[in-house]
Structure 1
Amino acid sequence: MRVLLAGIALMLSVALSAQGFSGKAIYKTYRKSNVKIGGQGQNGVTPEMEKQLQERMKKMFQKTFVLNFNKTESTYKEDVKLSSPAPQPGGGGMMVMSFGGGGGNDLLYKNIKENRFANKTDLMGKLFLVKDSLIQYDWKMTGETKNIGNYTCYKAIYEREQENISMSMIDGEMKESKKMETITTTAWYTPDVPINNGPGNYWGLPGLILEINDGRLTIACTEIVLNPAEKIEIIEPTKGKKVNSEKFEEISRKKSKEMMERFRSKRGDGNGIEIRIGG
């Protein structure tokens, strides 16, 4: 199987070097909410209110992204015009909070040839430029196929151990717990679009990744335009405080704790909120 993949990759390389190649792919994303509301019946939190909040969080994570790509580079950015409007606080004293990046001005640049990425992202009002090596995915081919639109796609999976951190605040006391989990990511890719790229941080398969699912995150391609009449420009972001992935994760956790503290001071007791980081 590895010899076969190497052969496919070689043929793709030859084909791509023979001609210019560019395009764009539109993706819809959905991430399950990691915010849990506890203490029902306390402080006026009812099952109906919790259901309403979960629906707001669901809409918050339904977004549309555009992947612009050429043979070796890509940019991935939210299309704010097509994404669902962000839910607003209100109703029953509930508040929706978002942690980490993923804002409408974020821009992820990947350079497959040089094995690196640059992610311009906003974290609670401060702009960062996260620069690091691309994640190395040890994809396993399953041999399964399915059609997505007009494209024949092949299934690959990747398993990893990941530490997830949960922060909860009950009766004004903040607690942090850590748990190791095995995350299985399923990817569907098509060799009909001959680039080893995909949405978000995903890449490394002999064809464009059209669908991703890891149990919490779902990314599905809805449209592909190859070699459009309008030239595709891939521009690497340069603005923001430069940090690597490890440092940015450290800063994100610190900022999340600060937000929890502010939330506690506003509510008075902070009863009923849990935030999960990672995964």
Structure 2
Amino acid sequence: MKSLSIKFFSFLILLASGTLMAQDFQGRAHYMSKTTVDMSNFGGNQMSEQQRRMIAERMKSMLEKSYILSFNRTESIYKEEEKLEAPGGGGGGRMGGMMGSFTAGPQYKNVKDQVLIQDQEFFGKQFLIKDSIPQLEWKMENESKQIGQYLSFKATAIKKGDDLDFANMRRRNRDTDQRNDSNKSKDSTKSNSTTDEFEVPKEIVITAWYTPQIPVNQGPGEYWGLPGLILEVNAGRTTILCTKIEINPSDKIDIKAPSKGKEVTKKEYETIVKEKTEEMREMYGGRGRGRN
């Protein structure tokens, strides 16, 4: 009964929002993204609690970001807000260094043509990742809440883990680490690397809150496909929350897809990254063995 009432109320909101769909409207949604990192075992016993806090503070600029989603009925572009980095804000150890090597530019989505284009820099080289929009099987839940002035409804989905999703990386299981260490002691040619220490979950539960009051199936980043603008996303260790919305602003919004860089598919880009990571792993591993 509760499920029916929520769906019916959502339908009424869609009807009331019909005037938005009737006109060529556009808007901006401002988001805050925050990713948490488990620092409890970071660096093992060789690192003090004070050192962990210092690294966490340095990684803050990579883990807390502001974005703007500019959208119309069929297109959107998601950009990070530019801001000056505080002195000494870089660093963060090997994991931070790896995350810093991936500089994501604007992300364009066209839900009509089912196209996603990502401007991506990797170790100083510009790529244009062009692929189809990821499809999630959303399940409508029987919950609602207020986000700002908008009544929002809950939906959940399961996303497969992505090897390049550094935001959701976690340290491998301790028992697995011990077995790996035992194996490595038998083979002196193997070396420690970030990919050995961390892993991405095979599946990530996505919780989204959308509002039918803004009837576009857009959302932050790769998220879309709900009957209303997505205002909040919880995905693993990352939370994305909408803090401000502008509908039909006085300055016209110009949405253009990125066009610079070497054009590749997502799969091709992942292969490039894995090959480069393996190359660096062997290079630094070789240097380490040469000094011993």
Provide the residue aligned with 2:78 in structure 1.
Answer: 76
> What's the CA shift for 1:155?
0.3
Which of the pair is proportionally richer in helix?
A: 2
Pair 1:191–1:76, CA change in 2 (3 A): same
8 Å contact 1:140–1:156 — kept in the other structure?
yes
- Secondary structure of the residue aligned to 1:174 is coil
Q: Distance in 2 between matches of 1:218 and 1:14?
A: 30
Structure 2 gaps, min length 5:
164-168, 185-189
Measured at CA, do residues 250 and 13 of structure 1 come closer, stay the same or move farther in structure 2, by a change above 3 Å?
farther
Report which of the two structures shows the higher radius of gyration computed on alpha carbons: 2
- Aligned pairs for 1:86-165 within 5 A: 87-89=89-91, 96-99=96-99, 103=103, 106-162=105-161, 164=163
- Residue in 2 that maps onto 1:38: 43
Deviation at 1:31, TM superposition (A): 1.8
Q: Give the AA of the match of 2:111.
A: I
**Pairwise CA RMSD:** 3.6
Moved more, 153-162 or 50-59: 50-59
Q: CA deviation at 1:32?
A: 2.7
* Between structures 1 and 2, the one with greater strand share: 1
Change (3 A) 1:84 1:209: farther
Q: Which amino acid aligns with 2:37?
A: S
1:62 Cα deviation after fit: 0.5
CA, structure 1 residues 179+80, in 2 after alignment: closer, same or farther (shift >3 Å)? closer
SS in 1 for 2:192: strand
Please report how far the alpha carbon of residue 49 of structure 1 lies from its aligned counterpart in structure 2 after TM superposition.
1.2
The range that moved more, 144-153 or 170-179, is 170-179
Write the distance in 1 (CA, Å) between the matches of 2:111 and 2:54: 42
- 1:236, distance to aligned residue in structure 2 (A): 0.9
Go from structure 1 to structure 2 and tell me whether the alpha carbon gap of 1:229 and 1:179 turns closer, same or farther (over 3 Å shift).
Answer: closer
After TM superposition, give the deviation of residue 174 of structure 1 in Å.
3.2
Do 2:76 and 2:108's aligned partners in 1 also have CA atoms closer than 8 Å? yes
In structure 1, what is the Cα distance between the partners aligned to 2:86 and 2:247?
Answer: 26
1:132-211 equivalences under 5 Å are: 132-162=131-161, 164=163, 173-174=191-192, 181-211=202-232
1:29 matches 2:30:
no
Greater mean alpha carbon deviation, residues 137-146 or residues 6-15 = 6-15
Query: What SS does the aligned partner of 1:225 have?
Result: strand
Q: Deviations over 1:111-136 (max 9, x none)?
A: 01111111111111110000011111
Output the CA distance in 1 between the equivalents of 2:229 and 2:101.
24
Secondary structure of 1:250's partner?
A: helix
The Cα of 1:160 is off from its aligned counterpart by 3.2
Mapped to 2, the partners of 1:84 and 1:206 lie a distance apart of: 39
1:62 is matched with 64
Aligned-partner residue type, residue 32 of structure 2: K
Identity of aligned residues (%): 38
Cα gap change, 1:120/1:17 in structure 2, threshold over 3 Å: closer, same or farther?
same
Tell me, yes or no, if structure 1 residue 246 matches structure 2 residue 251.
Answer: no
| Counterpart residue identity of residue 68, structure 1 | S
The 8 Å contact of residues 64 and 83 in structure 1, kept in 2 or not, is answered as no
Given that residues 68 and 80 in structure 2 are in contact (C-alpha distance below 8 angstroms), is that contact kept between their aligned partners in structure 1? yes
Is contact 2:115–2:131 with CA below 8 Å preserved after alignment? yes
The answer as to 2:252 corresponding to 1:231 is yes
- TM-score (norm: length of structure 2): 0.75
CA distance in 2 between counterparts of 1:22 and 1:56 reads: 37
Tell me, in whole angstroms, the C-alpha distance in 1 between the residues paired with 2:137 and 2:86. 33
Contact map agreement 2:17 2:214 (CA 8 A) in 1 = no
Shift, 1:228, TM fit: 0.3
Change (3 A) 1:39 1:144: closer
Shifted more, 181-190 versus 55-64: the winner is 55-64
Q: Distance in 2 between matches of 1:86 and 1:66?
A: 26
**Unaligned ranges ≥5, structure 1:** 270-279
**CA drift at 1:58:** 3.2
Q: SS at 1:155's partner residue? A: strand
246-255 vs 109-118, which moves further: 246-255
Aligned 8 A contact 1:33 1:58 in 2: no
